[in-house]
Amino acid sequence: MKIVRANAKFIRGYLSPVGGIESFIGKKDTAANVVQIQIRNTHYAPFLVTSITYKDSVIHSFEEPLLIQGHGGSSNSEVTFELVVDSELLSKKKFVNRIGIEYRMLGGRETFVSEPFPWDANSMNLSSAILNSRKPNYQNFAFIHENQDILTISEGNWVLEGVLTIDKSKTLQILPGANIQLQNGGAILCYGAVNFVGTTAKPINVIAKDSGQGILVMDSKKRSTLKGVQFYGLQRFKIDNWELPSAVTFYNSNVDISDCRFENNRLGDDYLNIFRSEFTLMHSDFIDCFADAFDGDFVNGKIQNVTFTNVGNDGIDFSGSSIKLHNVTFRMVADKAISAGERSQISASNVKIIGCELGVNSKDASNVSIKNSRIDSTRIPLIAFMKKEEFGPSAIHATGLNITNYETKYLLESSSGISIDGEKLSSTHNDLKSLLYGVEYGKSSH
């Protein structure tokens, strides 16, 4: 039976290739009204790219769809092309966050959408490309001591200027009582693990000032640890013309985070972003976040005893992920406290959502189970709908949920479902997407 189930799962994934294409934004020339788009097939099957959309409206249709071969070694599995875009549209601040690449299987009718990453494919996904341009340079920092494969920053006050780059064979260790000030483009780029472990008496402080940036751990084979670290004033990570949307990023790098404080990031879409990784986040606080506090894509993890306070956009935002929450509190979140998308599975207990714009948001075949929790003084406590047709409807199942002081108790699209203590709620709308994302509810950010 295990073989049968495994084969069935493979066939379902093959015939419904959500996420089968990764796309990226390359060079953007506002003078020539041209943006470069890179497309990569990560699936076994060939695809046809049919059109480019902006906010769900088609801005370019291919006369003959682009054929992108499967990723099994074909030279035609990646395509780069330039798209001419109206100057007013191209100059919009959120342009790259709102375009989509529509594609379908060769011989199929169902259409899927890839939302491009706002960076060049070669920069983020081919780690050797960055590594070749960013040679390991830890020898240039006098306060870093090397002992075989361990690089150590000891207790004391240290100024880090420029991008500290560490290769995959090393682990960066920061000891209790170390105070790291990032300035003059100061940032940490690490292909090995990081092991930052402070104590209650001697926390580690990582502070960014002026043009100080953030931290990127990428393609690490070893699991990282952040414990007893206080991050303050960080901003999105940038090298030359390439930049990430987040200040602290773990890309394809497993991590355990505990007893940490993420406060007052100055610029970027996310304070913490974890991508294609396993993680734990325990006993930590996110305070005064510029936009999203924590964004996770294709991750598996656990969040416990964590607070999110005064967040400029979403508290937690997950896509294609499996998450467990316990004893998590959200206060004064300007958009969604909990956002689940693209077939995410979230199991939550003992959650408090207080004074937020939106409470629990489930979309695109996601399923949120929440029990023994409280939502108070939040405009719309529960929302379930479908944003992208290629995924399908979503659901929220609540038990022991105390909801008080709201404008509208829930918004429910007709094809999705919300149940409270076993009672199925009636739908409120046929199309919720047109009301959300800053139109009537939430923030206009995605």
pLDDT, one tens digit per residue, over 66-80 is 888 876 555 577 888
Sequence letter at residue 81: F
Number of domains in the chain: 3
Q: Which of 98, 118, 138 is the last residue of a domain?
A: 118
- Residue 12 belongs to some domain of the structure: no
Longest Cα–Cα distance in the chain: 65
Q: Report, as an integer, the average pLDDT of 101-120.
A: 78
Q: Check residue 74 and give its pLDDT.
A: 54
135 in any annotated domain: yes
Burial class (CB in 10 A: 0-12, 13-18, 19+), 210: exposed
> Would you say residue 441 has pLDDT above 80?
no
Domain identity same for 30 and 109: yes
* 2 assigned to some structural domain: no
User: Do 208 and 244 share a structural domain?
Assistant: yes
Asked if residue 147 has pLDDT above 80, the reply is yes
Residue 298: give its domain's CATH number.
Answer: 2.160.20
User: For residue 281, what pLDDT band results from cuts at 50, 70 and 90?
Assistant: very high
What single-letter amino acid sits at 273? N
* Co-location of 176 and 56 in the same domain: no
CATH at residue 75: 2.60.40.150
pLDDT at 431: 74
Q: Note the pLDDT tens digit of each residue in 8-66.
A: 544 455 455 556 777 877 777 777 788 888 888 877 678 888 988 887 778 888 888 88
Same domain assignment for residues 254 and 388: no
Residue 191 shares a structural domain with residue 243: yes
> Rounded mean pLDDT of the chain?
86
Q: Does 284 reside within a domain?
A: no
Q: Decide which of 227, 251, 277 is a domain's last residue.
A: 277
- Amino acid in the structure at residue 211: S
Last residue of a domain, one of 218, 249, 277: 277
Are residues 262 and 301 both part of a single domain? no
Give yes or no for residue 344 having a pLDDT over 80: yes
* 49 within domain boundaries: yes
Q: Write out pLDDT tens, residues 152-186.
A: 999 999 999 999 999 999 999 999 999 999 999 99
pLDDT of residue 42: 77
Q: Let me know if residue 4 belongs to a domain.
A: no
| Residue 6 in this model has a pLDDT that exceeds 80 | no
Residue 199 covered by a domain: yes
From CA 386, how far away is CA 429, in angstroms rounded?
11
**What is the band of 256 on the pLDDT scale with cuts at 50, 70, 90?**
very high
**369-387 average pLDDT score:** 95
Instruction: Name the pLDDT band for 372 (thresholds 50, 70, 90).
Output: very high
Give the helix/strand (H/E) hosting 221: none
Distance CA 335, CA 383 (A): 12
In this prediction, residue 16 carries a pLDDT of 54
Q: Is there a single domain that holds both residue 98 and residue 26?
A: yes
The domain containing residue 48 runs over which residues? 19-118
Same domain, 297 and 387: yes
Are 206 and 185 part of one and the same domain? yes
pLDDT digits (tens, 9 = 90+) for 405-430: 999 999 999 889 999 999 999 988 87
Residues 108 and 131 in one domain: no
pLDDT band at 308 (very low <50, low <70, confident <90, very high): very high
pLDDT > 60? residue 122? no
Q: Are residues 262 and 312 in the same domain?
A: no
Say how far apart CA 369 and CA 353 lie, in whole Å: 15
Determine, yes or no, domain membership for 11: no
φ, ψ of residue 232 to 5 degrees: the values are -140, 130
User: Is 234:266 a contact under the CB 8 Å cutoff?
Assistant: yes
User: In terms of domains, do 325 and 370 share one?
Assistant: yes
